[in-house]
Amino acid sequence: MDVLGFGIVWVVLSILGEMGVRVIIHNDPMYYTASNIGLMVESAMDFLIVVLVPIFIFVGLTLVWSMIRFTVKRGETPTLPEKFARSNKWFVGSWVIGSIGINLLFFLHPTASATEQFFAMENPQAAANKQAIIVDVTARQWEWIFSYPQYGLTQTLDANGQDQLELPVGRSVKFVLRSYDPYHTYDQYVDVIHSFWVPSWGIKEDVIPGEARSIYITPTKITSFAQNPMSRVQCAEVCGPGHPWMEAPLNVVSSSQFAKWIQYEKKLQSGLG
């Protein structure tokens, strides 16, 4: 009787939990996603939540059910029930096999499947990557410097003279990440480790002195730092006293607006802006 009652309550709560979680996922309050990689991360997170809801409810309900069902008042002599969990081989076997199955599922998806997608996206020979916009990103204490070699831009700035990253929506971008200080002539290996983090893109890549790392990404949403603070480049590696302020705004615009911005930056660089 206990097993039947527990099972009914668990099924009802699981259905209600799944309905609540799907409403939350549909309204998307937890994420601000603006890239192809971010969408993959969001999809993986949603999958894990949906699968884990009934498991979480099962474990939590077991604790609550046991506390209520088997409570013994002071002075009473309890009648011990049959040790179901120890004596029932089907229960024990189902629990072990189910646990192994769930872990294998999470290994295959989203872990292995997402890894395969990431490797495919990082392939320079991919059709989208062949036409990718190249952005050289230089991390120094405590500044992000962006240059666009395809357009002859060595450093892009906004109207206030602050470093700015601007990109067109829907087009692949190749970031080449380096950590060194171009304004000083010391050995480039002397700089420190930084971390290239864009919250709205769901990416974070360490930038290490002496190494050039690359990452491909495609912005999927027109956005800006003014619209949402998650659209920014932020250092996520403690790199000194200026670390908390090592950030730069990100703007993702239409192709036509991007072309106008490139012309503006060229005039600015030549001193005509």
Q: pLDDT by residue (tens digit) across 21-50?
A: 888 888 776 678 899 998 888 888 889 999
**Contact indicator for 33, 45 with CB cutoff of 8 Å:** no
Q: Are residues 266 and 158 in the same domain?
A: yes
Q: How confident is the model at residue 245 (pLDDT cuts 50, 70, 90)?
A: very high
- The answer to whether residue 79 sits within a structural domain is no
Q: Are residues 226 and 258 in the same domain?
A: yes
Locate tokens 């190749």: which residue?
Answer: 174
Q: What is the pLDDT of residue 170?
A: 93
- The answer to whether residue 101 sits within a structural domain is yes
Q: What is the pLDDT of residue 136?
A: 96
Q: What is the pLDDT of residue 83?
A: 58
Burial zone of 78 (CB within 10 Å; 0-12 exposed, 13-18 middle, 19+ buried): exposed
Q: pLDDT by residue (tens digit) across 216-227?
A: 999 999 999 999
Q: Are residues 6 and 60 in the same domain?
A: yes
Q: Are residues 154 and 254 in the same domain?
A: yes
Q: Which domain covers residue 181, as residue numbers?
A: 131-270
Q: pLDDT by residue (tens digit) across 65-75?
A: 888 877 777 77
- The answer to whether residue 80 sits within a structural domain is no
Q: What is the pLDDT of residue 204?
A: 92
Question: Would you say the C-alpha torsion 273, 177, 38, 128 has a positive or negative sign?
Answer: positive
Q: Are residues 105 and 135 in the same domain?
A: no
- The answer to whether residue 76 sits within a structural domain is no
Q: Are residues 66 and 158 in the same domain?
A: no
Q: What is the pLDDT of residue 84?
A: 55
d(CA 253, CA 242): 29
Q: Are residues 256 and 189 in the same domain?
A: yes
pTM, 2 dp: 0.80
Q: What is the pLDDT of residue 29?
A: 64
- The answer to whether residue 99 sits within a structural domain is yes
Q: Are residues 113 and 188 in the same domain?
A: no
* pLDDT for 239 beyond 70: yes
Q: Are residues 114 and 155 in the same domain?
A: no
Q: Are residues 28 and 154 in the same domain?
A: no
> Got the DSSP string for the chain?
-HHHHHHHHHHHHHHHHHHHHHHHHHH--S----BHHHHHHHHHHHHHHHHHHHHHHHHHHHHHHHHHHT---TT----PPP-HHHH-HHHHHHHHHHHHHHHHHHIIIIIIHHHHHHHHHT-TTSHHHHTPEEEEEEEETTEEEEEBGGGTBS--B-TTS-B-EEEETTS-EEEEEEE--TTS-S-GGGS--EEEEEGGGTEEEEE-TT--EEEEE-B-S-EETTT-TTSEEEE-S--STTGGG-EEEEEEE-HHHHHHHHHHHHHHHHT--
Q: pLDDT by residue (tens digit) across 163-197?
A: 999 999 999 999 999 998 887 766 666 678 999 99
Q: Are residues 186 and 228 in the same domain?
A: yes
- The answer to whether residue 126 sits within a structural domain is no
* pLDDT for 16 beyond 90: yes
Q: pLDDT by residue (tens digit) across 147-166?
A: 999 999 999 998 888 999 99
Q: Are residues 111 and 174 in the same domain?
A: no
Q: What is the CATH number of the domain that holds 144?
A: 2.60.40.420
Q: What is the pLDDT of residue 1?
A: 57
- The answer to whether residue 15 sits within a structural domain is yes
d(CA 184, CA 21): 53
Q: Which is more confident, 207 or 187? A: 207
Q: pLDDT by residue (tens digit) across 97-132?
A: 988 999 999 998 888 888 888 888 777 877 677 889
Q: What is the pLDDT of residue 167?
A: 97
- The answer to whether residue 78 sits within a structural domain is no
Structural domain total, the chain: 2
Q: What is the pLDDT of residue 18?
A: 92
